[in-house]
Structure 1
Amino acid sequence: MSHSADLTWLLIKDNNSFLVKRNGVQFSSEANNLLNKNSFKFSGLANNKTIGIQAAASGRGIVVSTKKTNVPAFKPSKAINKVTITKGTRKAAAAVAASTARAGYRADLRKAALARVSAVLRAQKPVKAHAKKAGKGVRAN
Structure 2
Amino acid sequence: MSADLTWLLIKNNNSFLVKRNGVQFSSEAGNLLNKNSFKFSGIANKKTIDIAAAASGRGVVVSTPKTKVTLTKGIRKSARSVAGLTRAGYRADLRQVALARVAAVLATQKPVKAAPKKASKGVRANKN
Provide TM-score, normalisation by structure 1: 0.82
In the other structure, the counterpart of 2:31 is 33
Work out whether 1:96 is the aligned partner of 2:102: no
Q: Deviations over 1:58-90 (max 9, x none)?
A: 00010001124xxxxxxxxxxxx2111111110
Task: Write out aligned runs for 1:122-137 (5 A).
Answer: 122-131=107-116
Separation (CA, whole Å) in 1 of partners of 2:4 and 2:62: 25
Runs of 4+ in 1 over 3 A off after TM superposition: 132-135
Runs of 5+ unmatched residues, structure 1: 69-80, 136-141
- Give runs of aligned pairs for residues 51-130 of structure 1, distance below 5 A: 51-68=49-66, 81-99=67-85, 101-130=86-115
Separation in 2 of the partners of 1:82 and 1:16? 25
> How far has the Cα of 1:134 moved from its partner?
7.0
Count of paired positions: 121
How big is each residue's C-alpha offset from its partner over 1:15-55, in whole Å with a ceiling of 9 and x where there is no partner? Answer: 00000001100000000100000000000000010001000
Amino acid at match of 1:30: E
Displacement after TM superposition at 1:131 (Å): 2.1
Q: Which of the pair has more CA radius of gyration?
A: 2
How far residue 130 of structure 1 moved from its aligned partner, in angstroms, is 1.2
Please report the RMSD computed on the Cα atoms of aligned residues, expressed in angstroms. Answer: 1.5
- Structure 2 runs not aligned, ≥5 long: 121-128
Deviation at 1:133, TM superposition (A): 5.7
Look up the SS of the partner of 2:46 in the other structure: coil
Q: Percent identity?
A: 78
TM-score (norm 2): 0.90
